[in-house]
Amino acid sequence: DQQVKQNSPSLSVQEGRISILNCDYTNSMFDYFLWYKKYPAEGPTFLISISSIKDKNEDGRFTVFLNKSAKHLSLHIVPSQPGDSAVYFCAASEGSGGSNYKLTFGKGTLLTVNP
Amino acid sequence: KAGVTQTPRYLIKTRGQQVTLSCSPISGHRSVSWYQQTPGQGLQFLFEYFSETQRNKGNFPGRFSGRQFSNSRSEMNVSTLELGDSALYLCASSPGSTNEKLFFGSGTQLSVL
């Protein structure tokens, strides 16, 4: 039972354009959401997060949107750069204040930004 | 600050053997989590330790175990290895409060032959 789903295994965009990565979840107990980026042969690195009490969070070129009613979140990267090419993972945690200390990850989306 | 350090980087074992992987968290971090990454299943939570106590455990068989030492370093052990245990094992650390971002190491790539 996959509780966090990233339905697009891959996405290709042109440099300078917007990249939109999507994530759906089924567990209504999830209250904190994160995006991680992973390069080959490296561990995932944290990008941006959002609490369920918000619907948007921005950090530079990265913005995460949360639609709780649709159980959907998305990551927007504007403008996209070749160095953004990586696998992006959506993750979620549940429990009051994230008290179960566990992240549930999607299977990732490979983003390729073409020069 | 030094990042999360995992050793060894690569490991090759045969079925039936056991293996121990090591993780040194970022200095000052008291929580250590372990995840298994496979092409088919993505990243799956194994367990999380804080102050030498396991706080949460994922849905893995008892062959997978872990521990944390007083200096926050952690080890995970897999006994009676199976072919399906071939994966990248990732360790992550955090200060230990709720909903904190995790800092991941580069992982140990385990191949079971």
Give residue B40's pLDDT band: very low, low, confident or very high (50, 70, 90): confident
Q: Do B102 and A103 touch (CB under 8 A)?
A: yes
How far, in whole angstroms, is CA B105 from its chain's centroid? 10
Distance from CA of A70 to the nearest CA of B (A): 22
Cα Rg, chain A, nearest whole Å: 14
Sequence-separated (6 or more) residues with CB below 8 Å from residue B103: A46, B3, B4, B25, B26, B29, B92, B93, B94
pLDDT tens profile B48-95: 999 999 988 999 999 999 999 999 999 999 999 999 999 999 999 988
Rounded to whole angstroms, the Cα distance separating A81 from A79 reads 6
Distance between B41 CA and the closest CA of chain A, angstroms: 7
Give the per-residue pLDDT at A99: 55
- Across the interface, whether the CB atoms of B4 and A43 are under 8 A apart is answered yes
